Amino acid sequence: MKYKIGTVAKLLGVSPEALRLYERNGILTSKREEGENGYRYYSRLDITALMRARSYHQYGFSMKETEALINTDKTDFVLNEYRARADALEQEIFMKQQILRVLNQVSAMLEELSSQLWTIRQVTRPAMFRLEFMKGDELILRPDQLEWFPQWVSLAPFVFPAQRNSWEALLNGRDESFSALGILEEDAVILGLTDRETGHPLAPLSCGVLLPPARCLCTVVDISGENASCVGYLSHLEQYVREHHLTVTGDPVCRTFLSMNKKENYRRFRQVWLPVLPQADAAAGSSSLTLHMV
């Protein structure tokens, strides 16, 4: 029995062009007979082969791999391909689980956004790897860092914008900012980007800097505009430090966890950590202060 291309396409829920693609890749073999107006015809075996090919597609095999599996006569070859694909699927599932974990974390931050905005609390900043790539608008990557930078970018959504602002400059009324990419050390370990024995970063993280955990003041800010100045959106941190007589031990580092409305005012939400001496616990206790930008 022979079947026209339109019949087979309708039967299996694919387009005629998809059947032609399978045919060009050696998975199907059509026949044209004289007096049949040049129509392609397929046999029952072609239909079963196509059903098998659809299964291979769902497994994640490429068209080339599918053709090899359909046309081989070696079961050992098929078994080895199945095992390799199963390993790849396990890794893909693992990565999807990690992406879901990060998505849920960011969703939780958004759920708490209204209570966290402009509120200052004391926390331990998580360890993170950072790679600074701009000072203001100037690119500052070394040649080796420039080579690895695309691989940092490819780690999204685990990497995030991690800007640093000079605290000294801020106190003098200046915005001196360093754009960076960051990834939490916890995520780097999960993704196998650190040495299991030493904990040292592997490429591409090895060209960045590890920021260790630190006692910090933490706040979330809502900023808009391309040239928003930290002198303004971090003024509540400066006031808090001054009023509580705290000693700042480093520059504030942020994690931008949401950017939106790029066409209008480019609104960003940033979680900011400002390191302070641990003795601040005694001075400030567990209290928090809520201020709003003027």
Residue 206 pLDDT? 97
Q: Which of 111, 139, 163 is the last residue of a domain?
A: 111
Residues 162-170 have a mean pLDDT of: 98
Structural domain boundaries enclosing 80: 74-111
> Which residue reads 């081989």 in tokens?
72
Judge if the upstream peptide bond of residue 157 is cis by omega within 30 degrees of 0.
yes
- 126, 254: one domain: yes
- What average pLDDT does range 238-265 have in this prediction? 95
> For residue 279, what pLDDT is reported?
59
Q: Are residues 166 and 241 in the same domain?
A: yes
What is the band of 264 on the pLDDT scale with cuts at 50, 70, 90?
confident
Query: What is the pLDDT confidence band of residue 34, given thresholds at 50, 70 and 90?
Result: low
Average pLDDT over residues 8-34: 86
Residues 62 and 152 in one domain: no
Q: Is the pLDDT of residue 132 over 60?
A: yes
105 and 153 part of one domain:
no
Q: What percent of the chain has pLDDT over 90?
A: 76
| 210-248 CB burial, b ≥16 within 10 A, e <16 | ebeebbbbbbbbebeeeebbbbebbebbbebbeebebeb
Domain boundary among 71, 101, 126: 71
Q: What element of type H or E holds 255?
A: strand 253-260
Banded model confidence at residue 292, pLDDT cuts 50, 70, 90: very low
The answer on 40 and 179 residing in a single domain is no
- Pair 222, 267 in one domain: yes
pLDDT of residue 218 exceeding 90, the answer is yes
> Which two structure tokens, joined as six digits, stand for 111?
């759920």
| Residues 21 and 103 occupy one common structural domain | no
What phi-psi label fits residue 164: left (phi over 0), alpha (psi between -120 and 50 degrees) or beta? beta
Say if residue 206 is in the same domain as residue 263.
Answer: yes
Q: Taking the CA of residue 270 as centre, how many other CA atoms within 13 Å lie in the half-sphere pointing to its CB? A: 23
| Residue type (1 letter), 190 | I
Query: What percentage of the chain carries pLDDT values higher than 70?
Result: 92
End-to-end CA distance of the chain: 80
Q: Into how many domains does the chain fold? A: 3
Q: pTM of the prediction?
A: 0.84
**CA gap 62, 73 in Å, rounded:** 19
Residues 93 and 220 grouped into a single domain? no
Peptide bond into 204 cis (omega under 30): yes
Kindly report the CATH number assigned to the domain that includes residue 7. 1.10.1660.10
Q: What pLDDT does residue 2 have?
A: 84
Do 255 and 141 lie in one domain? The reply is: yes
**5-34: b (≥16 Cβ within 10 Å) or e:** beebbeeeeeeeeebeebbeeebbebeeee
pLDDT of residue 287: 45
Q: Are residues 82 and 127 in the same domain?
A: no
**Could you tell me the CA-to-CA distances from 133 to 104, 272, 291 in Å, in that order?**
28, 19, 32
Residues 275 and 175 in one domain: yes
Query: Does the pLDDT at position 5 exceed 70?
Result: yes
Check which CATH number belongs to the domain holding 216 and give it: 3.20.80
pLDDT at 227: 74
35 has a pLDDT exceeding 90: no
